[in-house]
């Protein structure tokens, strides 16, 4: 495939993928051998070319596996992934290339700033991969990495097994009073699929959350709450089965040893090495500052909820009552449902408005590419142009269907890079799972879904509007984990602006504007219980950071004791002693968020602070949009993210805008 062309999806033969990968890897390994013998200045362009060719192959395989999953594709993906991982590990442990990078570092003044940043990241990643370790230390490092991979997988599998082991069949529909009809239908379908009649409840989120929010049956809510919050632990209906207690300790101890081998004081320091935050203590201070400013409001919201529950005949509000009475209070106060908003947000109108907002702010135009090859009739391709010149492409695949991964995500096919005869242009994928159009009506979005679309397009714009020529730091490449959500969370703000909503909404039949009364209720409900929600996220974040910063736990009781201490500091309502949240905290024990869960709040502070300039100077201010593009959005990972932020904002980040946007007044408790 020529470097500048889009993928020919219609011509792809998935059966050929493993053979193509073998050829690509053989070619890459041959090129690596050449680089080992080449002068240092050949290193960066050489590695970039290798990465680019592999990315273009693997991005297509990964994308198709996510949007058109089939037995054949899954098998191909499973065959290819270990080979990609093996090559990645080889590269990370390649001593000759590491020494070449060190030689190049001694001549850093000969590099451009972008190349210098790419080299810094390369050296850092080599060190974090243990390349500088010798003998027994390197062997132990590899052993720990392998063990941690296996332990994390076991943690996730045990959590999944524990989740799937519990179910409850209800034959009397009156026990499910209050639960919406559509949810009852899904419970009945689940029963039928398991050769049962009635309503089958489970601990999967789409089944669990509606019970907690809508079921009038308090005993049922308590039963599900206990089963859910004790999964994979020493408590609850399956106590001791699939118990993650020792796994958590094993994972934490191995992480600490890994960090020590690499010269860090603790795993939190190691986790922050490639991130925007400087030190674990900086993160702890950041979280505690937010807690200090939000706790009083969270406590006030909880007191209000308790009083409301008491007025409805529940004088002793418990954890399993909180979602139920919160839902009732919200409905009583704002009388708004997402379903009521749907007819005003037909997907094409939303896209048209999104393109208009991005067009005004960043001086770009979107043009449908009718000739581009796509993988499904739902998919579309758009060219981005600036003043008539093509600068990028984006594919959208917005509707739910079978064999498509759930949720919403942005991915990339390739990034911008300098070529001998010009530039390779960036290409992004934006994927969502909205309700598909029918013969009677177009796809209609809830306002939550509108926000999701803007969020994912924020990631895509970050990738596509880059002006960086060095691939490892262009677009979303090389952007710190705790800064990468800034553009996506930033774009969400435009969905809430009274001057933008007319651009993205109109009734799909009458073309009428969203009624003023409905808009007012939508905006008023935005920050319902924002204090309680923020304190809960801070609880998770502080627990995660302290767990990886303080003395390494030797028992599961040590972990529980730390969580109890954190809750005493920041929680605004009590949880029962049987609650074992940590045993199901897959983000940090099974995913990539260890000593990194704070990133959600960190990026929210950055994006709110950036948007506060737009709020002050005009949310559709084209000059300000150009300044943001020039100083931050177009710079990708080519500079320190804090430097980019300060360049646009004129100062260090402040949480005040985020607190204000969330309706949190910010007085100390």
Which whole-number Å values give the CA distances from 571 to 156, 538, 550, in the listed order? 26, 9, 20
Q: How many CB atoms lie within 10 A of CB 37?
A: 9
Give the three-class secondary structure for 12.
coil
| Angle, vertex CA 157, rays to CA 152 and CA 159, nearest 5 | 95
Is residue 194 a contact partner of residue 200, using CB atoms and an 8 Å limit?
yes
Pick from 326, 400, 380, 330: which is nearest to 69 by CA? 400
d(CA 404, CA 413): 18
Which whole-number Å values give the CA distances from 524 to 336, 447, 518, 593, 594, in the listed order? 10, 14, 10, 33, 35
Which residue spans within 466-585 are E strands per DSSP? none
Residues in Cβ contact with 53 at an 8 Å cutoff, skipping those fewer than 6 apart: 24, 27, 28
For residue 623, the Cα-to-chain-centroid distance in whole angstroms is 30
Pick from 526, 525, 528: which is nearest to 301 by CA? 528
**Strand ordering across the sheet containing 380-386:** 365-368, 380-386, 389-399, 427-434, 409-414
Is residue 94 a contact partner of residue 449, using CB atoms and an 8 Å limit?
no
The full 3-state SS of 446-475, as one line of letters, equals CHHHHHHHHHHHHHHHHHHCCCCCCHHHCC
d(CA 622, CA 256): 49
- What's the DSSP call for residue 38? S
Q: What are phi and psi of 418, to 5 degrees?
A: -80, 130
Q: For the chain, how many residues are written?
A: 669
- What's the DSSP call for residue 346? B
Is residue 164 a contact partner of residue 267, using CB atoms and an 8 Å limit?
no
223 labelled catalytic: no
> What is the residue whose two structure tokens read 């009649």?
197
Active-site choice (301, 449, 456, 604):
456
Q: What residues act catalytically?
A: 456
């Amino acid at each position: 495939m020529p470097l500048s062309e889009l993928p020919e999806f219609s011509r792809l033969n998935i059966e050929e993928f493993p053979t193509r990968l073998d050829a690509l890897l053989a070619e890459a390994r041959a090129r690596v051998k050449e680089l080992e013998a080449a002068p240092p200045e050949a290193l960066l362009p050489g590695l970039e070319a290798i990465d680019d060719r592999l990315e273009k192959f693997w991005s297509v395989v990964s994308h198709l596996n996510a949007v058109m999953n089939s037995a054949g594709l899954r098998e191909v993906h499973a065959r290819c992934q270990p080979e990609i991982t093996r090559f990645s590990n080889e590269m990370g442990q390649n001593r000759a290339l590491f020494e070449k990078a060190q030689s190049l570092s001694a001549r850093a003044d000969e590099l451009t700033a972008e190349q210098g940043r790419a080299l810094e990241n390369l050296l850092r990643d080599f060190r974090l991969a243990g390349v500088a370790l010798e003998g027994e230390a390197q062997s132990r490092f590899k052993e720990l990495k392998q063990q941690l991979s296996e332990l994390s997988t076991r943690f996730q599998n045990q959590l999944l097994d524990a989740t799937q082991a519990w179910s409850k069949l209800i034959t009397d529909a009156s026990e499910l009073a209050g639960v919406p009809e559509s949810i009852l239908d899904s419970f009945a379908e689940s029963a039928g699929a398991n050769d049962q009649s009635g309503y089958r409840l489970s601990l999967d989120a789409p089944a669990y959350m509606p019970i907690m929010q809508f079921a009038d049956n308090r005993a049922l809510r308590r039963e599900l709450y206990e089963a859910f919050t004790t999964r994979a632990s020493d408590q609850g209906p399956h106590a001791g089965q699939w118990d993650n207690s020792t796994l958590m300790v094993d994972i934490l101890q191995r992480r600490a040893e890994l960090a020590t081998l690499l010269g860090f004081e603790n795993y939190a320091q190691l986790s922050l090495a490639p991130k925007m935050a400087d030190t674990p203590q900086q993160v702890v201070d950041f979280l505690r500052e937010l807690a200090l400013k939000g706790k009083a409001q969270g406590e006030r919201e909880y007191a209000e909820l308790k009083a409301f529950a008491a007025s409805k005949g529940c004088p002793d509000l418990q954890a399993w009552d909180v979602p139920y009475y919160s839902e009732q209070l919200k409905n009583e106060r704002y009388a708004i449902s997402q379903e009521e908003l749907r007819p005003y947000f037909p997907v094409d109108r939303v896209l048209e408005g999104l393109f208009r907002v991005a067009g005004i702010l960043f001086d770009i135009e979107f043009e449908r590419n009718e000739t581009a090859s796509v993988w499904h009739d739902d998919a579309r391709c758009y060219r981005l142009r600036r003043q008539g010149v093509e600068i990028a492409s984006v594919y959208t695949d917005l509707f739910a269907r079978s064999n498509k991964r759930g949720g919403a995500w942005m991915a990339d096919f390739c990034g911008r890079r300098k070529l001998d005869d010009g530039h390779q242009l960036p290409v992004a994928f934006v994927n969502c799972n909205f309700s598909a159009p029918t013969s009677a009506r177009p796809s209609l979005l809830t306002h939550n879904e509108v926000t999701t679309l803007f969020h994912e397009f924020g990631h895509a714009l970050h990738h596509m509007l880059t002006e960086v020529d060095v691939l490892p730091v262009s677009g979303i490449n090389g952007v710190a984990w705790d800064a990468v959500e800034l553009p996506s969370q930033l774009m969400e703000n435009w969905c809430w602006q009274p001057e933008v909503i007319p651009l993205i909404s109109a009734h799909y039949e009458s073309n009428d504007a969203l009624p003023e009364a409905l808009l007012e209720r939508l905006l008023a409900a935005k920050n319902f219980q924002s204090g309680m929600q923020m304190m809960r996220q801070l609880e998770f974040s502080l627990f995660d950071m302290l767990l990886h910063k303080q003395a390494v736990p030797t028992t599961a009781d040590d972990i529980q004791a730390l969580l109890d201490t954190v809750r005493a500091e920041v929680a605004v309502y009590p949880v029962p002693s049987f609650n074992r949240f940590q045993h199901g905290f897959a983000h940090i024990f099974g995913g990539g968020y260890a000593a990194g869960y704070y990133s959600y709040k960190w990026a929210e502070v950055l994006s709110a602070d950036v948007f506060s300039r737009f709020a002050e100077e005009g949310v559709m201010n084209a000059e300000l949009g150009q300044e943001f593009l020039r100083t931050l959005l177009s710079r990708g990972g080519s500079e320190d993210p804090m430097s980019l932020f300060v360049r646009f904002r004129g100062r260090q980040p402040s949480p005040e805008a985020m607190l204000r946007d969330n309706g949190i007044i910010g007085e100390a408790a």
